[in-house]
Amino acid sequence: MANNDVEWLFERRHASDGWHIGRVAHQQKEWIVVQATSNGMAGEAWGPFSERLQHEVETLLDLADRHQERPTAGDRGSEDALLACGLIATSKLELTSRRYGVPLHLWLGGTLRTSVRVAVPIVFHGETPRRRGPELERAEEHIRNCHQRLGITSFAIYDSSPDIDLIASSLPVLRFEAGLGATLTLHLPGQFDVDQTQRLCSQVQDCGLTYMADPCASIAMAAKASRDRLPALGLSVWKYEREDLLASLPETPPAVLLVDPLLEGGPTAVRKLASIARVLQSEVCLTAEKGGTWLTYHCVELAAVVPASHQPVQLPTGLSIEDLQALGVRSGKLLLPGLPNRPALETVPDHTDNFSGPSPVAEY
């Protein structure tokens, strides 16, 4: 990607170091790119562009500029504030690994996995059997193509229907298409109460789901509903209060924690949460559900070094077979050494306004 495709929005320079924020269009979406730079080298992180996110990133960098205590992902705020922390921390760590001439996964302790399975999202919006029919046909075709052309055997089914029977009747069709050996997971937006969830569990228990994520609005309800039942429980960690999540882990550990690395606050924060998951016997699924190519590759890099990351990395929604091919998926996996270069910006912007500001190399 050439630098003239980037609209530079913000810059803070400190001698040869600096922070830059750009706005780029890539794969029909707009992204915010946060770059930490030093002596011509850059580490960067991409998030979905919004003016609110831009504001959050600028605020964090300005706070550091004024030597004020910056919030961390530990002080969990809005989703944009968390994302801003994650973008800054990730770009800084990537810059560090580049400065020392090693890939991020080696900087973080070496690779436990040289290839990482990926899971393709299958999204259902239809809330009536009439609308569900064509969606199901398209889903079957997509699963077939993913399996036959790219060897993908993991599928994450997103279903927002409030109709338990509709969800339960779709799953056997998808299981039949995907085959018995495929990994199927069900992701819900918390639309059910305890009784409804238990009813859904009873209806889908023979579908071989690896887990069912976020069936209820709260962890306590989800844990109660899924206790001693199949399928096991998954939790998207950014959807819940951290206190509730930590309180639930020792007593009713979910089978899987879904973690968006940027929303968690960057690689160090991911590794901390994954450490806790490992100790309490939960697995980790790194998800690029809300991101694009950049976040996918970042998830794969992290999955390679996080011991508890046994689940396939979840790919962004809405990718066609061609997109998946372009991403580099082979045999259902992304290979770590073969990761294509990230869509990194070509050069470090050279604005010479000489703002003084915090250096990404010194403590941000």
Partner 1 sequence: MKPRPIIRRLKLYRVKIPLRQLYVSSMYVMKCVFRTVIELETDDGCTGLGETGGTQEVFQLTAQMARRFLRRDPLERLPLQQSFAASVFENRNGRNGWSAYGGLELALWDWAGHHFSLPACALIGEPKREWIDVVCPVPAVVLDLPVDRSALPSLFRQHERIAAVVEYCLQQKRQFGFTCFKYKSAGIDSEWDLRVMRALRRSLKKETLLRWDPNAAYPIAQATTLCGWMEDLGLEFYEDPTDDISGMAALRARVRTPVATNMCVVQLDQLASAIRHRPADILLADVYMWGGIENYLTMAASAEAYGFEVAIHSLFETGIGTAANLHLAAALRQIRRANDSGFHILESDVVQEGPLCVENGRMRVPDGPGWGVALNVSALAQLSVEQLEVT
Q: State in angstroms the smallest separation of the CB of 272 from partner 1.
A: 4
What mask, x for binding partner 1 by CB under 8 A, covers residues 101 to 140?
Answer: -x---xx-xxxx----------------------------
Verify binding: residue 9, partner 1, rule CB under 8 A.
no
Q: State in angstroms the smallest separation of the CB of 255 from partner 1.
A: 15
Verify binding: residue 278, partner 1, rule CB under 8 A.
yes
**Residue 192 neighbours by CB distance under 10 Å:** 22
Q: State in angstroms the smallest separation of the CB of 270 from partner 1.
A: 11
Exactly one of 100, 130, 341, 352 binds partner 1 (CB under 8 A); that residue is: 100
Q: Label the pairing between strands 17-26 and 6-14.
A: antiparallel
Exactly one of 199, 272, 290, 310 binds partner 1 (CB under 8 A); that residue is: 272
Please state whether the peptide bond connecting residue 231 to the residue before it is cis, i.e. omega within 30 degrees of 0. yes
Verify binding: residue 363, partner 1, rule CB under 8 A.
yes
Q: State in angstroms the smallest separation of the CB of 108 from partner 1.
A: 8
> Considering beta carbons, is residue 109 or 338 the nearer one to partner 1?
109
Verify binding: residue 88, partner 1, rule CB under 8 A.
no
Verify binding: residue 250, partner 1, rule CB under 8 A.
yes
> Considering beta carbons, is residue 307 or 349 the nearer one to partner 1?
307
What lies within 8 Å, CB to CB, of 134 at 6+ separation is 126
Q: State in angstroms the smallest separation of the CB of 163 from partner 1.
A: 38
**Residue 3 neighbours by CB distance under 10 Å:** 14
The candidate with the shortest Cα–Cα distance to 93, out of 288, 292, 268, 306, is 268
Verify binding: residue 271, partner 1, rule CB under 8 A.
yes
CB 2 within 8 A of CB 343: no
Verify binding: residue 246, partner 1, rule CB under 8 A.
yes
Distance CA 314, CA 45 (A): 18
Q: State in angstroms the smallest separation of the CB of 64 from partner 1.
A: 14
Q: What angle do CA 320, 325, 331 make, to 5 degrees?
A: 115
Distance CA 312, CA 283 (A): 11
What lies within 8 Å, CB to CB, of 246 at 6+ separation is 276
Verify binding: residue 281, partner 1, rule CB under 8 A.
yes
CB 221 within 8 A of CB 198: no
Distance CA 10, CA 59 (A): 11
What lies within 8 Å, CB to CB, of 236 at 6+ separation is 187, 213, 214, 258, 260, 287
Task: Give the type of residue at 99.
Answer: R
Contacts of partner 1 in 303-322 (CB under 8 A): 305, 307
Verify binding: residue 15, partner 1, rule CB under 8 A.
no
Exactly one of 280, 321, 335, 344 binds partner 1 (CB under 8 A); that residue is: 280
**Residues lying near partner 1 in the complex (CB under 8 A):** 100, 102, 106-107, 109-112, 246, 250-251, 271-273, 275-276, 278-281, 305, 307, 363
